[in-house]
Amino acid sequence: MASRSLNKVMLIGHLGKDAETRYTQSGTSVTSFTLATSRRSKNQQTGEWQEDTDWHDIVLWRAENLATYLQKGKQVYVEGRLQTRSWEDQSGNKRYRTEVIADPFGVILLSGRDGTGEAHSGSGNRPAAQGRPAAASGAGGDDLGGQGITDDDVPF
């Protein structure tokens, strides 16, 4: 019997620095950036609220167009999977790094530092719709509570 598992990550945070794009020997682009997420917790000793920040390494394949929008301080939504890679350093020590491998259309720019609502998605070839994505309707469009939304109503 095959075991079942789930490897899914969804994050909203701010870029710690501008994204960097490199190319493999075959010419495929690889964009990487760090994403900061914060959480609040109460200090058990002082009773005061404190904010703790975690840093996540994000890897995005074939997204050189989107990389131009991924600048320090911008808020983004990232959806993908965790992957751990290992290597030996120059001293012969085994090293590990866990990264979020973003889905092809799993990065959405939510806003800049000033709160502007820019939205860009995926490989950067087209802008994403702001807000919630429209659901594609079935035959007749009545599966959405009788709203009559058809494929012609989808904004992209």
Answer whether residue 43 is part of any domain: yes
Q: pTM to 2 decimals?
A: 0.68
pLDDT at 144: 41
For the chain, helix (H) and strand (E) counts, in that order, are 1, 6
Answer whether residue 141 is part of any domain: no
pLDDT at 79: 98
CATH of the domain at 60: 2.40.50.140
| Exposure of 77 in the CB half-sphere (CA atoms within 13 A) | 16
Answer whether residue 116 is part of any domain: yes
Domain range holding 32? 9-125
Answer whether residue 97 is part of any domain: yes
pLDDT tens per residue across span 37-59: 999 999 999 999 999 999 999 99
pLDDT at 1: 56
Could you list the beta-strand ranges (E) of the chain: 9-15, 20-23, 29-42, 49-61, 75-88, 94-111
Answer whether residue 2 is part of any domain: no
Answer whether residue 90 is part of any domain: yes
Answer whether residue 56 is part of any domain: yes
The tally of domains found in the chain comes to 1
Least confident of 38-47, 61-70, 128-137: 128-137
118's CB contacts (< 8 A; 6+ apart) are: 69, 109, 110, 111, 112
pLDDT band at 122 (very low <50, low <70, confident <90, very high): low
